[in-house]
């Protein structure tokens, strides 16, 4: 439990679904406990404010857009007084499809199905995060990584009828498949991730980088497993199909060609400007004293993300993880979208938590437990306060 360099391959009891589940059980139980605490805090806080916690989780903000896609299909849009057009074509289809499926085979409403999907997907994501960290650093670090993902300040989003949990689950297991040489599985899961969120590009890039690296190593004679074969190529070809297929369909639907999806996003004032808009937003916080504190907090937060990524590089994380986490972070910080959304957009960048997980894993169990419990309590209170206030835009 203290050897963080031990790999999972070949360990007794680690093979097979039942063995893998037993190995992941501490991470999954700990994750479920943290999220249950967050939901309890939300229920109590919402009741004190005469609000419905369940409505906040399933029928506010983007949750409504997903359920409308599930119920009505694509084509719904809202025209704002300033001329902006908010089209539901901006929302990728996998979550609405699962909501529609859940409503079709059960008495659940679309919103109920979305909530169930997110709960199950969040557990799958925690398991995937554990599996990746366990493979690279060992089981103790894997448990710590799953717990750290649970106690993130905006971790309550993992329990909402949003697509973050579903995407993170698909991304984590795709990356695990890459690390363990399951190329067709990796490509299939990457394609599904591409049907979930635009940032599915990051999963595709990770798969492609891994395959290209395998080809380069085989050419130089450094790959002891032999030259990459048809499965590598098939995984590569499958990976971009989800995102590319949806984007091309939107272009055909709007009549604006391959770039039609960008026009849809522009209607939401979303785009990629290299972080210029975000920098202006941060600078604007310094025009007043209370706002200056928020500006300092934002700068510290960005610096922390950069520092964590540098530590990931220095700790020699596998290249697919570095590519994936780097692209997720870059797309989140450099998009000109709603600035309040950036913390939740960073939720899928779980490899950034691995340096912290390693540090936590080195603590004695009692001390690590105290740290996790304290942070979990703070996260639960913040999540309840946040959803009852501004919440995710």
Q: What is the pLDDT of residue 345?
A: 94
Q: What is the pLDDT of residue 232?
A: 94
Question: Running DSSP on this structure, what letter comes out for residue 272?
Answer: B
Lowest pLDDT segment from 18-32, 59-73, 119-133, 211-225: 211-225
Please provide residue 388's backbone torsions phi and psi, each rounded to the nearest 5 degrees. Answer: -85, -5
Q: What is the pLDDT of residue 287?
A: 86
Task: Report the distance separating Cα 318 and Cα 310, nearest Å.
Answer: 13
Judged against a pLDDT cut of 90, whether residue 324 lies above it is answered with yes
Task: Report the distance separating Cα 156 and Cα 162, nearest Å.
Answer: 11
| Average pLDDT, rounded, for the chain | 92
Task: Report the distance separating Cα 27 and Cα 372, nearest Å.
Answer: 12
Q: Pick the closest to residue 119 from 153, 169, 185 (CA basis).
A: 169
Q: Which residues touch 258 (CB under 8 Å, ≥6 apart)? A: 247, 248, 251
pLDDT band at 237 (very low <50, low <70, confident <90, very high): very high
pLDDT band at 227 (very low <50, low <70, confident <90, very high): low
3-state secondary structure of 131: helix
Q: What is the pLDDT of residue 269?
A: 87
Residue 243 near residue 194, CB atoms below 8 Å:
yes
pLDDT band at 288 (very low <50, low <70, confident <90, very high): confident
Judged against a pLDDT cut of 70, whether residue 170 lies above it is answered with yes
Judged against a pLDDT cut of 90, whether residue 271 lies above it is answered with no
Cα angle 392, 351, 208 (rounded to 5 degrees) comes to 105
Residue 98 near residue 91, CB atoms below 8 Å:
no
Task: Report the distance separating Cα 357 and Cα 140, nearest Å.
Answer: 9
Query: Over the stretch 80-130, which tens digit does the pLDDT of each residue have?
Result: 888 889 999 999 999 999 999 999 999 999 999 999 999 999 999 999 999
Q: Pick the closest to residue 34 from 113, 109, 129, 173 (CA basis).
A: 129
Judged against a pLDDT cut of 80, whether residue 223 lies above it is answered with no
CA atoms within 13 A of residue 85's CA, in its CB half-sphere: 10
- pTM of model > 0.85: yes
Long-range contacts of 279-285 (CB under 8 A, 24+ apart): 281/339
Cα angle 301, 304, 310 (rounded to 5 degrees) comes to 150
- 142 vs 278, higher pLDDT: 142
Neighbours of 92 (CB within 10 A): 26
Q: What is the pLDDT of residue 12?
A: 38
Q: How far is CA 59 from CA 8, 63, 77, 112, 321, in A?
A: 41, 5, 17, 10, 34
């Amino acid at each position: 439990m203290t050897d963080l360099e031990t790999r999972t391959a070949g360990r007794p009891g680690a093979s097979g679904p039942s063995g893998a589940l037993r190995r992941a059980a501490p991470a999954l139980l700990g994750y479920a406990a943290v999220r249950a605490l967050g939901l309890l805090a939300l229920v109590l806080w919402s009741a004190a404010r005469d609000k419905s916690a369940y409505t906040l989780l399933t029928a506010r903000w983007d949750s409504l857009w997903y359920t409308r896609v599930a119920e009505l299909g694509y084509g719904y849009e809202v025209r704002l007084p300033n001329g902006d057009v908010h089209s539901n074509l901006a929302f990728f289809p996998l979550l609405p499809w699962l909501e529609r499926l859940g409503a079709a085979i059960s008495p659940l409403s679309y919103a109920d199905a979305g909530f169930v999907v997110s709960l199950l997907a969040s557990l799958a994501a925690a398991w995937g995060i554990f599996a990746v960290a366990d493979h690279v650093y060992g089981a103790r670090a894997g448990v710590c990584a799953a717990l750290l993902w649970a106690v993130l300040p905006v971790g309550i989003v993992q329990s909402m009828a949003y697509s973050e949990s579903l995407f993170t689950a698909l991304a984590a297991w795709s990356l695990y498949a890459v690390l363990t040489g399951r190329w067709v599985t990796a490509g299939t899961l990457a394609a599904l991730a591409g049907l979930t969120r635009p940032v599915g590009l990051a999963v595709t890039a990770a798969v492609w980088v891994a395959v290209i690296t395998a080809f380069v190593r085989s050419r130089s004679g450094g790959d002891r497993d032999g030259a990459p074969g048809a499965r590598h190529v098939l995984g590569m070809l499958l990976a971009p199909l989800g995102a590319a297929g949806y984007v091309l369909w939107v272009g055909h639907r709007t009549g604006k060609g391959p770039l039609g999806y960008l026009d849809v996003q522009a209607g939401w004032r979303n785009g990629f400007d290299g972080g210029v808009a975000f920098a202006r937003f941060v600078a604007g916080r310094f025009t007043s004293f209370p706002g200056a504190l928020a500006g300092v907090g934002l700068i510290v937060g960005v610096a922390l993300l950069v520092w964590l990524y540098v530590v990931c590089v220095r700790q020699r994380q596998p290249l697919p993880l570095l590519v994936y986490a780097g692209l997720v972070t870059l797309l989140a910080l450099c998009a000109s979208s709603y600035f309040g959304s950036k913390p939740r957009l960073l939720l899928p960048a779980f490899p950034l938590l691995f340096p912290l997980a390693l540090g936590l894993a080195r603590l004695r169990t009692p001390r690590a437990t105290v740290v996790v419990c304290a942070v979990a309590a703070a996260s639960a209170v913040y999540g309840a306060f946040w959803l009852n206030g501004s919440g995710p835009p």
